[in-house]
Amino acid sequence: MAGRNGEVLLLDAGGIAVRAAVTAHDGPAGPVSWSADGRMFVVGGSDGRVTVWDGRTGEPLGALAPAAPGVRTYPVFRPDGHTVMVVSTDGAVHTWDARPSEWVARACRIAASGC
């Protein structure tokens, strides 16, 4: 699913690609963690980023950079199915809500616009 060249590829149960591979990281991509309901998965990388994906279509939903470039990230979905904990090789631990609706709400709060 994730590879050395930064590509992420979602396969169905028969091993057929759901969509073409997407280059999502600068350098090796992985590890991968799935939400409990299978609707999303997250991929860590050696570039300090974590990417979030639609678990049905393989479409990228977004990316965060909780660590500096060159720092490997290890994301894991928490049991609630939407909180992601990221541990990185620089010793930092981060958590965030992976639901895109929460990203919009947070952006509106930051912009103080109330959207």
pTM: 0.86
**How many C-beta neighbours within 10 Å does residue 108 have?**
12
d(CA 103, CA 84): 13
Domain locations along the chain: 7-111
* 13: its two tokens: 């149960």
Q: What is the CA radius of gyration of the chain?
A: 14
Digit-by-digit pLDDT tens for the chain (115 residues) are 667 799 999 999 999 999 999 999 999 999 999 999 999 999 999 999 999 999 999 999 989 899 999 999 999 999 998 999 999 999 999 998 988 888 888 888 888 866 6
Instruction: Count other C-beta atoms under 10 Å from residue 98's C-beta.
Output: 25
Residue 63 burial (CB count, 10 A): 16
CA atoms within 13 A on the CB side of 1: 19
Q: Which CATH class is domain 7-111?
A: mainly beta
Q: Which are the contacts of 78, defined by CB distance < 8 A and separation ≥ 6?
A: 84, 85, 95
Q: What are phi and psi of 106, to 5 degrees?
A: -65, -45
